[in-house]
């Protein structure tokens, strides 16, 4: 059987292919037939270029139905899809193109000048453009191609995509994902989240990241469900479209922004069956406030570029705020001590994972790949957490953000959770900065709510009575907002740099 992911999707398209597969925010409708034909045309165009096997197709374009079709066409033609964050500028694109050596680059028409220069320098022979409103050379070249295409045979372990990590902890690494990695995950999520006939996904996430591409889009495609495509997250637009959808997925900041609008509440969410959050920690306050305002319990799950989804709160059972839930079926997740032995209940350690969803290594980084796998084949996620007695996993941070002060381990999340609960605090980030005596000094960076007037003492005082002295921040900095990347992840490396003594 052909293990090509596109073949799997196609086998699940609804019988009535004239039904709507994608609707845009401005009212354009694409049927499943349109999807099939347009991907065939693009796949034929790629095939006509006579590219070597396993060629990477690097894509940095604004979100549009055609951008999703380009992903599907690449997979269909048997090549490797490589999406790039639209925020990346010349220095970053030069690194990614140089590292991945793509055979084809597709960029926005307005970036063609500088992107094509970088691409040609790196040996790429084909550069196409694709704009958010169907402009550009990709579609005009594909237009003359036949609208049927025999999906290329792929084996389960053949590469389908290289997904660069978000670069939150350092330079992005290319995670090599196979057809089976993606297929196994979409099947597991379909069951775990009880995707249903008639589901409609409101898609507000970007397409260059695991969340919007492999969780949201793949989920809808595999379920034969219509997607309502928003070019980007916009609170007012989401509120307008929510009543027409049944499933919504977002990063925590989307939920924070929705709640910031006093008009957001039960009415807007009445038709929704499932709200999913991930990519960064969902604050307990957001989880609780969302339930109070809408009557919906957000389902938080945990995943990453290297593994797609690995842990999720239950669809049926209790969804516990502050936790990411249980390992998904078929995925083994363990929490271990530094010596590799298993942690007990509630004991904090490194999170490791094994399963059909786990990637095939970092692109052109064999040494790094070797380092990140254990002898028995588990991937070290770099996240730190603990399982409770009911088997729910709580993430307490990343091992790189762990603070060692005076020889003691300090988990930032523990302190952040207490600070976040304080009257007048909107959110916080706790980091370690170099210190001559302690090695690292615990430092808190705090965002206050509007109108709140707090001093460093107001933060430190209450902490002293609740946690051991070595965990209490030595310094507190107040800021207007925390630095975040496009996926809403707090960039602690930026904060560490900023607050380290010169
Ligand atoms: P890099 O690996 O380049 O530093 P990154 O890890 O942020 O960047 P991604 O693969 O996009 O790149 O993100 C995966 C990470 O996001 C996870 O390892 C975890 O730290 C975090 N994450 C994802 N979901 C959750 C969640 N529900 N709660 C807390 N953290 C989460
Ligand atoms: Mg990572």
What is the distance in A from the centroid of ligand 2 to the CA of 65? Answer: 28
pLDDT of residue 437: 84
Instruction: Give CA torsion, residues 220, 224, 225, 229, to 10 deg.
Output: 60
- Atom in ligand 1 nearest the alpha carbon of residue 168: 4
User: What does the angle CA 29 – CA 76 – CA 92 come to, to the nearest 5 degrees?
Assistant: 85
Residue nearest atom 18 in ligand 1 by C-alpha distance:
304
Say if residues 242 and 269 touch (Cβ distance below 8 Å): yes
Q: Of all atoms in ligand 1, which is nearest to the CA of residue 398?
A: 20
Strands (E), 96-199: 104-107, 126-129, 159-164, 174-178
**Tally of residues, the chain:** 502
Residue-range domains of the chain with CATH: 5-274 (3.40.50.12780), 403-499 (3.30.300.30)
Angle of helix 456-464 relative to helix 412-421, nearest 10 degrees, comes to 110
What pLDDT, on a 0 to 100 scale, did the predictor assign at position 485? 86
Model confidence, pTM: 0.94
Residue 137 CA, chain-centre distance (Å), reads 29
In short, whether 381's Cβ falls inside 6 Å of ligand 1 is yes
pLDDT at 427: 94
How far away, in angstroms, is 179 Cα from ligand 2 center? 21
C-alpha 398 to ligand 1 mean position (Å) = 9
pLDDT at 488: 83
pLDDT of the chain along its 502 residues, tens only? 899 999 999 999 999 999 999 999 999 999 999 999 999 999 999 999 999 999 999 999 999 999 999 999 999 999 999 999 999 999 999 999 999 999 999 999 999 999 999 999 999 999 999 999 999 999 999 999 999 999 999 999 999 999 999 988 888 999 999 999 999 999 999 999 999 999 999 999 999 999 999 999 999 999 999 999 999 999 999 999 999 999 999 999 999 999 999 999 999 999 999 999 999 999 999 999 999 999 999 999 999 999 999 999 999 999 999 999 999 999 999 999 999 999 999 999 999 999 999 999 999 999 999 999 999 999 999 999 999 999 999 999 999 999 999 888 899 998 999 999 999 999 999 999 999 888 999 999 999 999 999 999 999 999 999 999 999 999 999 999 999 987 889 999 999 999 998 7
């Amino acid at each position: 059987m052909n293990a090509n992911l596109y073949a799997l999707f196609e086998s699940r398209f609804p019988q009535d292919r004239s039904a709507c597969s994608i609707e845009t925010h401005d009212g354009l409708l694409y049927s499943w037939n349109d999807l099939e034909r347009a991907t065939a045309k693009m796949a034929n165009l790629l095939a006509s270029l006579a590219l070597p096997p396993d060629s990477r197709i690097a894509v940095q374009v604004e979100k549009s139905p055609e951008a999703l079709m380009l992903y599907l066409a690449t997979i269909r033609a048997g090549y490797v899809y490589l999406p790039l964050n639209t925020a990346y500028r010349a220095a970053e694109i030069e690194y990614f193109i140089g590292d991945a050596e793509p055979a084809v680059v597709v960029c926005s028409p307005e970036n063609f000048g500088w992107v094509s220069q970088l691409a040609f320098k790196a040996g790429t022979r084909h550069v196409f453009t694709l704009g958010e409103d169907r402009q550009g050379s990709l579609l005009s070249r594909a237009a003359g191609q036949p609208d049927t295409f025999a999906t290329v045979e792929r084996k389960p372990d053949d590469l389908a995509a290289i997904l660069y990590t978000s670069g939150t902890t350092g330079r992005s690494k290319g995670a090599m994902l196979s057809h089976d990695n993606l297929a196994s995950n979409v099947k597991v999520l379909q069951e775990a989240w009880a995707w249903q006939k008639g589901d409609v996904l409101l898609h507000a996430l970007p397409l260059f990241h695991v969340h919007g591409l492999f969780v949201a889009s793949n989920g809808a495609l595999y379920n034969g469900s219509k997607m309502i495509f928003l070019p980007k997250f916009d609170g007012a637009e989401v509120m307008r479209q929510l009543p027409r959808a049944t499933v919504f997925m977002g990063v925590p900041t989307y939920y924070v922004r929705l709640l910031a609008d006093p008009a957001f509440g039960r009415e807007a969410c009445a038709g929704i069956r499932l709200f999913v959050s991930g990519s960064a920690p969902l604050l307990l306050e957001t989880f609780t406030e969302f339930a109070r305002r809408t009557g919906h319990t957000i389902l938080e799950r945990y995943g990453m570029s290297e593994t797609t989804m690995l842990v999720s709160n239950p669809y049926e059972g209790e969804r516990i705020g502050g936790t990411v839930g249980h390992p998904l079926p078929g995925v083994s997740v363990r929490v271990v001590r530094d010596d590799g032995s298993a942690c007990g209940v509630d004991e904090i350690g490194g999170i490791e994972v094994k399963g059909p969803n786990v990637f095939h290594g970092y692109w052109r980084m064999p040494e790094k790949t070797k380092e990140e796998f254990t002898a028995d084949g588990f991937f070290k996620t770099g996240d730190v957490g603990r399982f409770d007695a009911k088997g729910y996993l709580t993430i307490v941070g990343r091992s790189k953000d762990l603070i060692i002060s005076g020889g003691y381990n300090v988990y930032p999340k523990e302190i952040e959770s207490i600070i976040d609960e304080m009257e007048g605090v909107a959110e916080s980030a706790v980091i370690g900065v170099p210190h001559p005596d302690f090695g690292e000094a615990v430092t808190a960076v705090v965002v206050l709510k509007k109108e709140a007037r707090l001093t460093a003492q107001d933060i430190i005082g209450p902490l002293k009575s609740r946690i051991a002295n070595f965990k209490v921040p030595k310094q507190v900095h107040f800021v207007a907002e925390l630095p975040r990347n496009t996926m809403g992840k707090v960039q602690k490396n930026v904060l560490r740099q900023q607050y380290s003594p010169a």
